[in-house]
Amino acid sequence: MTRRNPARLIMGAALSIGLMAGMTAARANDSAIKAGADPNGWGMYSKNYDNTRFSPLKQINARNVKRLSYVYSFQLGSLRSNESSPIVIGDTMYVSTSWGPKYVYALDAATGARKWTYEPDIPDDVLQYACCDVNSRGVAYADGKIFVGRLDGKLVALDAATGKEIWKATVVDYKQGSVITSPPLVVKNKVITGFGGGEYGVRGSLQAFDINTGKEVWKTYTVPLKNEPGGNTWKGDSAEHGGGAPWLVGSYDPKTNLVYWGTSNPGPWNSAVRSTGDGNFGQLQNLYTSSTLALDADTGQIKWFLQGTPEDAWDYDGVNELVLADLKLRGKTVPVAMKADRNGFFFVMNRDNGKVQSAEKFVPATNWATKWDINTGRAVEVADKRPGPNHPAKDICPNLIGGKNWQPMSFNPDTGLVYIPSNNVCMDWSVSDVAYKRGVFYLGAEFPTKAGPGGYLGELIAWDPVKNRKVWGIKSDLPFNGGTLTTAGDLVFWGDLHGDFRAINARTGAELWKKNLGSGIGAGAITYEVKGKQYVAVVVGRTAALPAFLGDIGKKMTAAAPEGGALFVFALN
């Protein structure tokens, strides 16, 4: 009889399991990379890991886009704040709706025929814990699975072929004011997600879950407690309710294995509650809120950070997406991450180490700081624009919705331009006493809204990130307009709160085509090709909750178009 060495058997089994796990991770990562790289598809929320929202397709182009015609529409069965950018894998489109999401649909991308519907059981009380509406901005795909975050704090994996639920994980207790409104990021064998809640005094975190089991792999808090590194930037125990929630979308660089995420405003808005009180504004305070974080995708360890608004006193939520590209700066090709921050500055950072290459005002009215000093890594603040106890501030620009809100920008490597849906809104600000109560707004501020200078409230800006200047702009009578898509056909697609969906010459800003779709547009459009035919798709359904933050301007936003919930698809006739 052959005797076997037990230790060798155990080592062999462990090696086999390790190899299988490694193969699974590689396969999942390969499937996500392949989906993002497919020129005919739209494999991730912003096309691929770099968040450029650029498509190399050019069957539809600046010369023929005037022939763009309706192909089909699909009613989403859910009104209010439909903000999803669909994804397209092969010939199948996956799109989520608002309210939970109420539904996730798989559709034939060429015809709109429904393949399956996922209808989760979402608690009726989620609205009261969703600061800024019941939105769902989309889903993610990898390894034959669809991943979706929900307003009830759950992360779910679905079978991409059938819609059947494979696993469900609890990310956070939504009743503390934490909801998931944006799609996760799949990296290797992990599904990474954040959640909202900066206005409810949550303590933000990013969490990674195993792609096959839903088991939590790592969790990184984005606000350090007083006994942790960086905890001395918080007053007393205020970090326990410090906000910093990374609720929007992440990006990823496979070369460095870094994921990039923005973090939200600190809580509460009354900075006196959390400030260490040294009066040296512009220094790092309230880490890691209103910041950009670069984290190791395998462990969640923070490798570098940039705090765009230290000791944020204006709700300049720093969650806006990071767009990755390689730019030629001062004669050298630099791997960069670009961010149009809500505080009105456009940051170009070396994405390997976080060093700021440039930071210029893309919103001309920005006045809370005179400039961003790249030598010190600090904003040069205007003292009169920083509110505090017994010190209200007047005419602060931008307003709390920011120079750019969540609506995605895009980058076209052919034109070298970034297309930014910007806002021109200002405010006054005064603070008040506030106490934390679980699941209730934790603000401590009043912020009457006013129009910015110039008589317009929004502008689509084409920005040169190398020369740091605006190339062209299209002004709007409303803020909070839709995200952008850009293509190799020299086009930018952009919608607004009136429901007007436009095709624009990416080089000149000339409007080439327009169609009103009946409800306000916040989502970014996508484009894809099936069987040799290029399509453009966009979801409509204006916001309902956010206008309540904006007074009379908010009333104009809700009057501009009715609520809606539909997907529209176009192609050349």
Q: How far apart are the first and last CA of the chain?
A: 77
Q: Is 82 a catalytic residue?
A: no
User: Is residue 360 predicted with pLDDT exceeding 60?
Assistant: yes
Q: Per-residue confidence at 278, pLDDT binned at 50, 70, 90?
A: low
For residue 283, what pLDDT is reported? 74
**What mean pLDDT comes out for the span 167-189?**
97
* Res. 5: pLDDT tops 90: no
> Comparing C-alpha atoms, which of 553, 415, 520 is closest to residue 472?
415
Q: Are 266 and 445 in contact (CB under 8 A)?
A: no
Res. 436: pLDDT tops 80: yes
Q: What is the mean pLDDT of the chain?
A: 94
Model pLDDT, residue 277: 67
R_g of the chain, CA atoms, integer Å: 23
| Least confident piece of the model among 58-72, 272-286, 466-480 | 272-286
**In the predicted model, what is the mean pLDDT of residues 10-39?**
58
Strands 114-118 and 104-108, bridge-based pairing: antiparallel
9 band by pLDDT with thresholds 50, 70 and 90: very low
**From 189, 265, 286, 481, active-site residue:** 265
Three-state secondary structure string covering 356-401: EEEEEECCCCCCCEEEEECCCCEEEECHHHCCECCECEEEECCCCC
Catalytic hit among 315, 341, 360, 529:
315
Tell me if residue 265 is catalytic. yes
Across the range 237-259, mean pLDDT stands at: 97
Superfamily of segment(s) 6-572? Quinoprotein alcohol dehydrogenase-like superfamily (2.140.10.10)
Catalytic residue among 199, 321, 459, 490: 199
8 Å CB contact between 291 and 247: no
**Whether residue 315 lies in the annotated active site:** yes
Q: Which of 248, 259, 295 is nearest to 137 (CA)?
A: 248
Mean pLDDT for the stretch of residues 457-461: 98
pLDDT of residue 537: 99
**pLDDT tens digits, 97-128:** 999 999 999 999 999 999 999 999 999 999 99
